[in-house]
Amino acid sequence: MADTYLPGWVGARIAFWDGTVYSPIACITSRSESNASRLKEKTNVCTEGQTVKTVVGIDSTVSVSGEVVNTDSLEELRVLQDSKAEHTFRVYRGTGETNPVYFNAIITNLNADYPAGQDEDATFTMDLQINEDGYLDTDPHATP
């Protein structure tokens, strides 16, 4: 059996919903995802002293690294994080991709790197906690 490898998101781009349009903020250079189960534990007479664990939800986080699109991009991300609210993001997974994915998330971590070298681009990393709807195939802001 031949090995099959899943390609990354080559040429991926991310934008956020600014209330009227999707505003591009970065070209994604790498991404990682994690899913953590939220557990409820119960130990009582009915469980005969045994701890019973039940999954009550999944926390999904996507971490992205990227090149800053313009001088306002990092400031826009800071404003989104400072709002302490959930926002809608749109990601084109690759070059030439015409079907983006959407997700609602809060920014839980944001870091910027401003290299001092000539011809070096500013970059950033951020962690996005995706809400329980996960990835969406349709734009939640599209008018029917």
**Residue at 121 is within a domain:** yes
pLDDT at 65 over 50: yes
Span 37-43, average pLDDT: 91
Higher pLDDT, 82 or 49: 82
The pLDDT value recorded for residue 119 is 79
- Name the pLDDT band for 1 (thresholds 50, 70, 90): very low
**Residue at 79 is within a domain:** yes
**Residue at 88 is within a domain:** yes
- Domain of 107? 13-35+64-130
pLDDT at 5 over 60: no
Residue by residue, DSSP assigns the chain as ---------TT-EEEEE-SSSEEEEEEEEEEEEEEEEEEEEE-SGGGTT--EEEEEEEEEEEEEEEEE-STTHHHHHHHHHHTTS-EEEEEE-STT----EEEEEEEEEEEEE---STTPPPEEEEEEEE-TT-SBSS-TT---
pTM (two decimals): 0.78
Say how many domains are in the chain. Answer: 1
Q: What is the pLDDT of residues 77-120, one digit of tens each?
A: 899 999 999 999 998 876 666 788 999 999 999 998 888 878 77
